């Protein structure tokens, strides 16, 4: 072994460790300065209860997320509820549209993120529900289907 080579190796190793430690905060600082990724708007629909004996009184609740609470486009957005009875297609289903108007000054924007509607289902079978939320510029968010199973009392 060359005299002093061990000492030089430890010094070199120490310099490398310090250099990497100094570099870490710079990369983490970059991440802090970046904007958080934008959340994609999402509309989720849930039925409660989802199963029951006839007649079933179910409440559907839609949750809208990823929309800026100050977005005037979705201030009192139009809401369309679709109910598809057993044996029907979505085109044949019952559509109920709620088109509320903004009755407040423009600077008081209020974007609702929760929507609710109750239904009483009398016939047995599988019912499907869907929710559309539409902004003033016709941007539309569509939920997935919520299924309610109505059982016959025997």
What confidence tier does 45 reach under pLDDT thresholds 50, 70, 90?
very high
- Res. 24: pLDDT tops 50: no
Whether residue 101 is found in the same domain as residue 69? yes
Cis, bond preceding 49 (omega within 30 deg of 0): yes
Whether residue 73 is found in the same domain as residue 136? yes
Contact between residue 130 and residue 45 where contact means Cβ atoms under 8 Å apart: yes
Whether residue 30 is found in the same domain as residue 46? no
Determine the pLDDT at residue 65: 94
**pTM of the model as a whole:** 0.72
Whether residue 88 is found in the same domain as residue 21? no
* Interatomic CA distance for residues 50 and 30, integer angstroms: 47
Supply the range of the domain harboring residue 28: 1-34
CATH number where 127 lies: 2.60.40.10
Whether residue 93 is found in the same domain as residue 142? yes
Whether residue 69 is found in the same domain as residue 3? no
Helix (H, G, I), strand (E, B) or coil at 126: strand
Determine the pLDDT at residue 29: 52
Residue at token pair 């061990």: 6
Determine the pLDDT at residue 103: 80
Whether residue 19 is found in the same domain as residue 53? no
State how many domains the chain has: 2
């Amino acid at each position: 072994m060359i005299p002093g080579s061990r000492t030089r190796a430890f010094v070199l190793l120490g310099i490398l460790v310090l250099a990497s430690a100094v570099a870490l905060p710079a990369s983490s600082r970059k991440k802090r300065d970046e904007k958080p990724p934008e959340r994609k708007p999402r509309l989720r629909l849930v039925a409660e209860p989802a199963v029951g004996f006839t007649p079933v009184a179910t409440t559907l609740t839609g949750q809208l997320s990823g929309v800026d609470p100050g977005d005037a486009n979705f201030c009192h957005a139009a809401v369309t509820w679709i109910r598809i009875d057993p044996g029907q297609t979505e085109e044949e289903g019952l559509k109920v549209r709620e088109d509320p108007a903004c009755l407040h000054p423009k600077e008081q924007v209020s974007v609702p993120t929760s929507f609710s509607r109750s239904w009483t289902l009398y016939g047995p079978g599988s019912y499907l529900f869907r929710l559309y939320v539409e902004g003033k510029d016709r941007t539309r968010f569509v939920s997935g289907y919520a299924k309610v199973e109505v059982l016959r009392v025997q």
